[in-house]
Structure 1
Amino acid sequence: MSSRYGFVVEFVPESADCNLLAGRCIKTLHGFLSSNENAANSIGVAFPLWGIQSVGKAIAFVGPSEKELVGLSYQPYFSMMKQEGLFNVSSVQVLPEQLPKVRFVRNQTIAKTFVASKRRRMSRAIERSGCDNYIPQASEEREFDFFHRIPIESKCSQQEFVLHVQKQDAREVNAAGFNSYGLATNQRWQGSVPNIDLPLFS
């Protein structure tokens, strides 16, 4: 397989809202991909410090083209946040081939299940109460493997929505299989990324 490249954005503030900043970085990637057909579906995101509490204080971008990643790393949002001392942005580097492979998967089933099941349960509760202005409290019963919610704003509608993202081990390398947010999905996009360690970029 040909070499893969990557760079890391670290969030400097101690009190940073990591999921929020990750969403803004992913929005920057989405805009870059929208205006750059050569990079479409080839750049994936990774979270080197992924943990229980948050996605972690860093996000990495991985792809087969050094040139495209350099272009992404110099997008205005990254440059502004770096200049203000809020981000550390590494240079683009070749990634070791022996790193384990993982997928960061956007699982839309989570969002759909929450909305649909909540609506059904609330409708049933209203019918049982016999009162039109009764507002029931809904709780989600279905369980999913561990995931994080990453808020992101739509480029077209400017409306905020949430990416439900899970980390999975990947058995094979798939370097060109990411959606427009740099993520794998349950079915169509199966892109994998190296399980990156931050010391690689120090």
Structure 2
Amino acid sequence: MTATLRVPASPSLCASATALREVAADPSAVRAAARAAGEAWVESVLDGFVLPVAAAARGRPAGRRTAAAARDLADGLIGAGTRRLDAAAAAAFVAFLDERLAPGPPPTIAVPLEPPLAAALASLARVSGAPAAPAALAEALHATIDAGLAGLLDAPLALLPLGLVTRAAAKVGRAAIAHRVHAEVDRAVADPDAADRLRALLVGYLPPA
């Protein structure tokens, strides 16, 4: 069984995913439903992953500029992708949502983890009563950010029918977002309070044993 992170999903994401599954065959209705589901997915990623990492690293309301940049990037990509969405791409998006979205309660998005990262996170959970070694915590955090961005952004973006120029722009924007989130971690791991918050966040993403 593949280990996963469980990132909180919004009720609106669950509702829009259901609406996309049930939408009629009319292409314009499918595109509208896919756009709504894509936008709800992005909001869940920001509220459930990007902003919590920033808040754990620096306190609230950290991460707003990163979230705004991600929304701007996603809005253009979702708009471009759903305008060109055909039946096959829509079916692939539905299958992706069916695979990753767990209705709960509480609803969550499953992010697959490679075995080394899963083992590192399990180790952090086992020693939650003692301070984490900064190097080990930083390594786990950076790997979790990479896994999260791959599963939460790269995977759904790969399903959108985007042109070469748009896809290249997406890579640049994604790299900028990743840089900002990684930088939050680099600044925070030496602060004991921030390190405790970040470890608690990581452990909270693990499904119950």
Larger Rg: 1
Shared fold, TM over 0.5: no
Question: TM-score of the superposition, structure 2-length normalised?
Answer: 0.23
Question: TM-score of the superposition, structure 1-length normalised?
Answer: 0.24
Higher helix share: 2
